[in-house]
Structures are given as C-alpha cells and as structure tokens.
Amino acid sequence: MNHYKAPMDNMNFVLFEVLKAGNIANIEQFADATEDMQRAVLEEAAKLAENVLQPINASGDREGCVYDPEAKTVKTPSGFKEAYKTYQEGGWSGLASPVEHGGQGLPHFLKVVVDEMCCSTNLSFGMYPGLSHGSIDALTLHGNEHQQSYYLPKLIAGEWTGTMCLTEPHCGTDLGLIKTKAEPQADGSVSITGNKVWITGGDHDMTDNIIHLVLAKLPDAPAGSKGISLFLVPKFLEDGSRNPAFCGGLEHKMGIKGSATCVMNFEGAKGWLVGKENEGLKCMFTMMNAARIMVGMQGLGLAETGYQVSLAFAKDRLQSRSLTGPRNPEGPADPIIVHPDVRRMLLKQKVLIEAGRAMAYWAAYQQDLAHAAPEEADREKADDLFQIMTPIVKSFLTDEGYFSADAALQSMGGNGYTQDWPVEQLLRDGRIARIYEGTNGIQALDLIGRKLTMRGGRLPRTYIAAMNDLIADALPEHKKQAEQFIAKLTQTLMGLVKTVMSDPEEAGAAATPLLRMFALTSLAVMWAKMAKQTQDDGTKSRFSEDFLEGKVKAANHFYRLYLPEMDQLAADVEAGKATLMDLAEAEF
C-alpha cells in the first residue's frame, strides 16, 4: 500500500514563493536552473519516489539484506537492484555534481529536495547513493587528477557507489584512536590493513564496483587525529582484480534493514592517498558536512510520511463524538480529527515539518551561494550561514523527525503499533539518524565549540543579522514574536561567553539546549517569513485559500507552543553543569 504523496504544494511554496529559488538561474553557474527546470526535476523525482522506491520499502524492511559468508558478499532485498538501475539511468546520481566529470551541475538545494522525497519513501535505499555523494564531494575537492578523471565519472554516473570508512570496533567519534594502518608500497600505493564497522553500503549487488574512502594512519604519523590520512580503496582494482577489502558480516539493526551496514575487513588492500598526508580528517569533513545535511533530510522525510499517514487516518477513523456535539450525525461516531488531543499531535507535526523544511531548504541554498555567488562578500556570508546551520539541520530535524513519527503512531492508537501501517517502520528506521554522522550531542558540541568561535566569532553575528533581515517585512504580530526568539537567543549567547571561556564543561552542559534555541529561532523566523508570503497577490493566485490560511494559523500555533520553551532552554543553558557533574560515578 502506498501512503505517501510528495507534498509538492508545500515544497513549491517554500522554494518558489518564500526562497525565490528560481533566481539562482541569475548566477552564471546555474543558468540552466530556471524555475521551470526545477519544477520539472521535482515532478520526476516525485514519480521516482512514489512509484519506484515506495513500493519496495516495507518488503525491503521485512526481507533485509543477506550476507554470504563464503563469497563475503551482500545481496540487497528484492527490487532494490532494479530500483537502483532506474535511479542510475535517470541521472539522479549526478544531479548536483560537476559538469566536467559528467554531472548535471544543478544547485545543491535541488538535490536536498530530492533527498527528502527519497527518504520519505525508502530510507534504506536512499543511503546507497547518499554515501556516494559524499565520496564525490571529497574527490572533487581533494582528489588528484587521476582520481578525478578515473573514479569521479563512474561515481557521478551511478555506475559505482562510494562509502565512508571511519568507525572501528573500539572507537566511534574519537577517530584519533583508529588503528587501521597504511603501509607505503614501491609503486606509490599503500597497503591498508584494519577493521571498520557500521559501514553503509560496504558491500552490495547493485553496482559493479564500490569505492571505499578509508581513514588510516601511515607509519610514524603523529598521534591522535593529527596523524589520520584518507585513502581511496576500490573493491575492484583498475585491472579488474579483486582487492582484499571484504565484508565480514552485517550488523543486526533495529531498522534500515534494507541498507547493508557492514563490517569491513581490509586485508592488505591496495589504496591511494587522497589529499595530503595526515590531513585525512580535513578531507573527511567534506564528506561529513554533505552527509549531515542529508541525514537531516532523513528526519524530515520520515516525519512527512508519518504526518501524511496519521492525518489520513484521523480523517477516516471513527471514534466517539466531538465534545461539542456530533460532527458526523449520519455515522456511528465522529472522525478522530475532531478531538483536541489528536489535533495536538497532528498540529505539532505540521508546525515542525513545514518550518523545518523551510529551514533546511534555506540552509542548502546558502551552500550554493557560498560556492557560486558573484561577490566574495556574499560567498563569505553564505558560507558562514551554511557552516552554522549544518549541525542545527542535522540534529534538530532528526530529533523532531523521530518525535513526529512517534506522535503519528500515538495518534493512531493500536493501529500505529502494527505492521499493517508504515509508522512503526518509520520509527525504527528514523532512530539511527539521531546517532550517525556524529550523534546529536556531538553536533551540539560542534556548534558551541567550533562554529561559535571560528572566524573570530563571526558566524553567530552573521546568523543573527540574517534572521533579522528575513523578518524585516513580516506581519507585525509575527515579527514581534520572532524578534522575541532572536532576542532570547542573543541574550543567552552574550551570557555564555565568560562561562564557556572559564570552564569547558560548562560549554558541554550548555551545548544541547543552546542548539535547540538556534533551531527554534530559525523556525520562528521561517514561520514569520511564510506567513507574510501568504499575503502576496501572486501567491494567492497560485495556492488555495485553505492552504494559505492554514499557514497563518500554523504560525500562530508554533509561537504558542515554542516561545515559552525558549525561556526554559535559556534557564537550562544558564544553569550549566551544576547538578550534571555533581554526582560521583558511584552515586549513579
């Protein structure tokens, strides 16, 4: 059963009414990305998601991937190989990749919208090409001429896929502890020996080759993270021989069972340095930043599907009567959407999903401007915004995506808990998004420990200025409320400076609530921006009155729900580590 329809009205409203995304075509690099072109791409992406990816989502979850211990290979669920061929032949792998290596060169934000649709309909499938995009970005920025000319065209065409091989059995986030070794060889290659775990797409049967990007240490490398280098290690070498980079088994997971999450054993595998020696972490961050935005879209995509399912259920399911009298007098009961508690759950999903989408698309737009805006000052501003928004998009959308799916399940009662409906799978699949590509706690530390201080502390100033600019012409009642979010965040940031400088544990304690303050402020601004856009005559001619009036009322509900929370979060930040760090280990 198909439960999802791409929310084209909401997507188009954000892209073309609020963000004016068609204007990207005024930049020479994106001259082909007119509004008509973008709309055509999204229409085709919706067909792919609804008709190709969605039908194999539940079956892929039930069947899962199968490991062959003798061949050390992985078979993906039925239909995945065929779906990947459709994806690859449609050119989706190279949508936003460089033209000089066979890509279409379209804006990155357009890929982000396509990612949302793929994640809404089949998260497990979307992870295979998703990791390839990270490999493409890393090789585009850091690969040598041969690596770019030989490997990039195949990755961009989707003929091959890529992986990120970071984590090892004894270490996760602390990559300075890795033990994988890279021994230089006479021919200029290295011999890679070590074990990696939780490697998405480490092996599968959908493409002829898999390109692993592996973190390892050269002999005599500095200790810790300063001694990490990045290496390209293909499954099959250029002469067609099998490289000894083998899948040693599949992880047994809570969800995303159609995604091959592999233990990878490198047994003297041949590899080549990417970038400079001992700068592997820098190169890998190229992959991780792109991956973190995509993970945010996973949370948003799953939330959207959960909302669609629970909303349709609430309109159809008959249970009890409205508290103010029958709304469906001809039937035995009223649909549950009449009940305030059900509406509470549905509206929470709506206000977070729609503003979260606007926040994510806006952030992705900044990435494109950071690379392509004609003026250097505009590029710098956009990069400041993209850098600070990356941990916010990743963590907030995955947290709230999961909680939204949970609200969807709760609103459906016992039906939501069964496999007859897709929401229980959304919860299982979505739970991992809060963990990988850096847990959300790590994202918060990245925000407070790196993003707030980098470039002389310029990023938060750029962010606050951008938020004020976005609401400059908002409706008075919404502008006033959005300004309260901005003011509370600004006040909290100013109070943090001395505390954080004097005690790093205070920064650690404040990180998570502070990140949420940034996220809620971003959403408050997006709601003010969207509500204002509903008053535009051109917008009124393109959207129904119900659609636009629903935006204004949803904005009002968002402010009702989350403005009080800003005070609570600010108090949490101010309290700092007191009580958190007071207990001795024996007292837990």
The pLDDT tens digits for 433-463 are 999 988 999 999 999 999 999 999 999 999 9
- 442-458 per-residue burial string, b: 16 or more CB within 10 A, e: under 16: bbbbbbbbebbbeeeee
* Cα–Cα distance, 295 to 374 (Å, whole number): 29
Average confidence (pLDDT) over 113-128: 97
The pLDDT tens digits for 387-444 are 999 999 999 999 999 999 999 999 999 999 999 999 999 999 999 999 998 899 999 9
Are residues 70 and 194 located together in one domain of the fold? no
Q: How confident is the model at residue 488 (pLDDT cuts 50, 70, 90)?
A: very high
Give the per-residue pLDDT at 405.
Answer: 97
- Decide which of 215, 245, 280 is a domain's last residue: 280
Give the per-residue pLDDT at 1.
Answer: 61
Beta carbons within 10 angstroms of residue 483's beta carbon: 17
Whole-number Cα distances in Å, 237 to 150, 209, 210, 242, 337: 12, 9, 10, 6, 58
Torsion on CA atoms 566, 571, 572, 578, rounded to nearest 10:
180
Residue 197 · residue 207 · CB < 8 Å = no
User: What is the DSSP annotation of 154-210?
Assistant: HHHHTSEEEEEE--BTTBSS-GGG---EEEE-TTS-EEEEEEEEEEETSS-SSSSEE
- 376-408 per-residue burial string, b: 16 or more CB within 10 A, e: under 16: eeeeebbbbbbbbbbbbbbbbbbbbbbbbbbbb
Are residues 81 and 183 located together in one domain of the fold? no
Are residues 114 and 172 located together in one domain of the fold? no
Q: Does the annotation count 506 as an active-site position?
A: no
The pLDDT tens digits for 543-584 are 999 999 999 999 999 999 999 999 999 999 999 998 999 999
Is residue 74 in a domain? yes
Are residues 177 and 46 located together in one domain of the fold? no
Is residue 479 in a domain? yes
Length of the chain: 588
Q: Which of 116, 304, 400, 437 is catalytic?
A: 437
The H-or-E segment that residue 265 falls in is: strand 261-274
Q: How confident is the model at residue 464 (pLDDT cuts 50, 70, 90)?
A: very high
Is the confidence at residue 290, as pLDDT, over 90?
no
Are residues 500 and 575 located together in one domain of the fold? yes
571 by Cβ neighbours in 10 Å (0-12 / 13-18 / 19+) ranks as exposed
CA end-to-end span of the chain, whole Å?
47
* Cα–Cα distance, 261 to 292 (Å, whole number): 18
Q: What is the CATH number of the domain that holds 136?
A: 1.10.540.10
Tokens linked to 426: 């959304």
Is residue 304 in a domain? no
- Mean per-residue pLDDT of the chain: 95
Is residue 109 in a domain? yes
> Which range among 72-81, 274-283, 343-352 shows the weakest confidence by mean pLDDT?
274-283
Side-chain half-sphere of 475: how many Cα atoms within 13 Å?
18
Average confidence (pLDDT) over 464-493: 98
Is residue 571 in a domain? yes
- Decide which of 157, 187, 209 is a domain's last residue: 157
Tokens linked to 540: 């009124």
Written in H, E and C, the secondary structure of 386-409 is: HHHHHHHHHHHHHHHHHHHHHHHH
Are residues 59 and 33 located together in one domain of the fold? yes
Are residues 225 and 239 located together in one domain of the fold? yes
Percent of the chain with pLDDT over 70: 99
* Cα–Cα distance, 455 to 445 (Å, whole number): 17
Among the listed residues 300, 347, 355, the one whose alpha carbon sits nearest the alpha carbon of residue 527: 355
Residue 346 · residue 337 · CB < 8 Å = yes
Is residue 542 in a domain? yes
Are residues 128 and 234 located together in one domain of the fold? no
Are residues 23 and 117 located together in one domain of the fold? yes
Is the confidence at residue 586, as pLDDT, over 90?
yes
Q: What is the CATH number of the domain that holds 244?
A: 2.40.110.20
Are residues 148 and 203 located together in one domain of the fold? no
Q: Which residues contact 507 (CB under 8 A, 6 or more apart)?
A: 445, 448, 449, 496, 499, 500
Give the per-residue pLDDT at 357.
Answer: 98
* Cα–Cα distance, 546 to 553 (Å, whole number): 10
Give the per-residue pLDDT at 499.
Answer: 75
Is residue 300 in a domain? no
The pLDDT tens digits for 31-61 are 999 999 999 999 999 999 999 999 999 999 9
pTM as predicted: 0.96
Helix (H, G, I), strand (E, B) or coil at 215: strand
Residue with tokens 């980079």: 245
Percent of the chain with pLDDT over 90: 92
Are residues 23 and 92 located together in one domain of the fold? yes
Better pLDDT: 19 or 174: 19
Q: How confident is the model at residue 253 (pLDDT cuts 50, 70, 90)?
A: very high
Count of the separate structural domains present in the chain: 3
Is residue 489 in a domain? yes
Are residues 34 and 20 located together in one domain of the fold? yes
- Decide which of 126, 157, 188 is a domain's last residue: 157
Task: Find the domain containing 511 and state its range.
Answer: 439-581
Residue 95 · residue 111 · CB < 8 Å = yes
Is the confidence at residue 110, as pLDDT, over 90?
yes
82: left (phi over 0), alpha (psi -120 to 50) or beta: alpha
The pLDDT tens digits for 510-522 are 999 999 999 999 9
- Sign (positive or negative) of CA dihedral 446, 452, 456, 461: positive
